Amino acid sequence: MIILTGGAGFIGSAFLWQLNLLGENNVIVVDALDSSEKWKNLRGHDFNDYWDRRTLLTRIAEDKLPAVRAIVHLGAETSTTETNADYLMENNYRFSRTLAEWAVKQGVRFVYASSAATYGDGSHGFSDDPRELTKLRPLNMYGYSKHIFDLWAERSGLSKSIVGLKFFNVFGPNEYHKENMASVVFKSFNQIRETGRIRLFKSYSNDYADGEQLRDFVYVKDCAKVINWFLTNPAANGLFNLGTGKARSWKDLATAVFSAVGKAPAIEYVEMPIELRDKYQYFTQASLSNLRRSGWNEPFMSLEDSVKDYVTSHLAKADPYL
């Protein structure tokens, strides 16, 4: 049995899709569907049961879990604009600790989601070397809630027995419920349909022209493959960046979307909300040295190929879901 938290979410449902492709359906999905559209991410996928977080915690406390071989913990509050620090600490930090401690004690494989938001403005680089952890200064509370768990895992020694994945700018199918937190690829596709143009934020840094801000964009289907690799390679443990290792500009991204829909680029640069300007990352690029040393040697899809697959195989379809 695999327990998959966040299994109805963006990356979680993509990983469930990957498991099903490999013939695995003995999965308990743990999530909070509430009144969102996340339930649509589960249609067409095969799994054993659905629980909410309270059910999972109760069964752990009462020692009533079935035989579990792995916990893939992708559930979290992922909004970078969430300001309720107590909520983020309880949901992203305390809950993660409970699951990690139980998994290690039981000898159960544990893979969890960290984030590139832990790197802050990037002034200390993007190395996933654990010796660099204390230097990092996240720019928002979401990033800090992820960072403090990474720190705890390292200081407690559990990082030697578990896997943390620092996801960079992930995009792809099943992100549709994320609304304002959905990727620029998704937003751009819909902007082209509605106006024929794509709107990107202006730059407020002298080091970057408008549209030349750089991010490490990684396709969710590649992420799902990496998660599965760690699930099946228990000798590989620690904290790992999960990006392509190659930064690309927002202009490159927009141009790839236009190419995928067969239109000439038409980009408009708009003002960034004031509240985001001092929390904005102008450059991210994953160092993949740890990931490659772990044994993962598969190539990542290029930005152009992954955007084309997302647009033509999903966004342009009547049913865009995995």
Q: Name the active-site residue from 40, 50, 176, 178.
A: 178
Name the pairing type of β-strands 163-167 and 238-242: parallel
- Packed helices 250-261 and 303-310: angle between N→C axes, nearest 10 degrees: 50
- Half-sphere CA count of 45, side-chain side, radius 13 A: 31
Which residue among the candidates 93, 112, 119, 142 is catalytic per the annotation?
142
Q: What is the 3-state secondary structure (H, E, C) of the chain?
A: CEEEECCCCHHHHHHHHHHHHCCCCCEEEECCCCCCCHHHHHCCCCCCEEECHHHHHHHHHCCCCCCCCEEEECCCCCCCCCCCHHHHHHHHHHHHHHHHHHHHHHCCEEEEEEEHHHHCCCCCCCCCCHHHHHHCCCCCHHHHHHHHHHHHHHHHCHHHCCEEEEECEEECCCCHHHHHHCCHHHHHHHHHHHHCCEEEECCCCCCCCCCCCEECEEEHHHHHHHHHHHHCCCCCCEEEEECCCCCEEHHHHHHHHHHHHCCCCCEEEECCCHHHHCCCCCECCCCCHHHHHHCCCCCCCCHHHHHHHHHHHHHCCCCCCC
Does 178 qualify as catalytic in the annotation? yes
User: For tokens 């929390």, what's the residue?
Assistant: 279
56: amino acid identity, one letter = L
The yes-or-no answer on residue 142 being catalytic is yes
Residue for token pair 């160092």 = 287
Which residues are marked as active site? 142, 178
